[in-house]
Structure 1
Amino acid sequence: MSRIGRAPISVPAGVEITIGSDNLVTVKGPKGSLTQQLSPAMTISQEGSELHVTRPNDAKENRALHGLTRSLLHNMVVGVTDGFKKELDVNGVGYRVAKEGNKLVMNLGFSHQVTMEEPEGISIDVPNPNKIVISGADKQKVGQFAAEVREKRPPEPYKGKGIKYTDEVIRRKEGKTGVKKK
């Protein structure tokens, strides 16, 4: 039995879960509403303030879907109650970010400014010119948008310039020695 799949999901007060036909699950909470189509092979049942996911048999595909379905449901419940957040740091001389309306404007050492539109369901916060905070209810959307922002100028290994996650560690390389042998 999957250790992740058999763990119950506790549903906090103020969260409403609707399980439709073919496992179309809608979760509504204080931070918004999320809808996702989960595998119809899994059985999702709500008992009081807990959700349980069970699988029909021990076939390899069903074992894989068991833990996945439970994790997706758990992420939806956490997203509508607490939300998810990714923090990025901008390192480099002259590298700055600012928020203008619903656009993220970045100066990243190019001859032009890089602008990105704030997607629906995601909020961008720029507490200082070298920090970006991306938050939202959908874990997948938050992670994808953070990856797209980081992709505009990934960190390089020599000086560490670029956009990196706050908790990311950049493996540094030693540069040229500067001494040539004849």
Structure 2
Amino acid sequence: MPDRSIRVFGDPVLRQICEPVVEFDEAARRLAEDLIETSLPAGRAAVAAPQIGVPLQAFGYDVDGRRGAVFNPVVVETGGELRDIDEGCLSVPELWFPTPRWEYARVTGLDATGEPVDIDGEGVFAQMLQHETDHLKGIVYVQTLPRERRREAMRSIRTAPWFLAGSQN
């Protein structure tokens, strides 16, 4: 398994809008493997490239018996109801907040060889698709929370032992 540390809220790489992947070479295949392997340990579902310090549009996942990586993903469809779902993030360790997410989501993108992929799902899988594509736009889920919940989340983050001192979040 790759030794990839997870960047935490306050790290500037998490606020960057990621660049699209344009070359699907050995480096892209290694990145896909790293992202998938980093998502495998218990308690994890997916990892976006910026969470391991790589500002590229890619994420790996291991959710509901499905495993893979998507490059240059775009959410092309959401559906069902917008519901508050308890959500956490490896970049906001040990904190969970009810987050508005659509019950269904569909993403298109490319695999590590540059071939088109089209994945969709409901429930936790849909939540993951929305969460990971947000990361690639420089958005950590706590930034999407309604105002009062976001204030509560920021208070919790600022007092968390892992929080990066001096961040401007």
TM-score higher than 0.5 here?
A: no
Q: Which has the higher contact order (CA 8 A, sep 6+)?
A: 2
Scaled by the length of structure 1, what TM-score is found? 0.27
Larger radius of gyration: 1
Give the TM-score taking structure 2 as reference length: 0.28
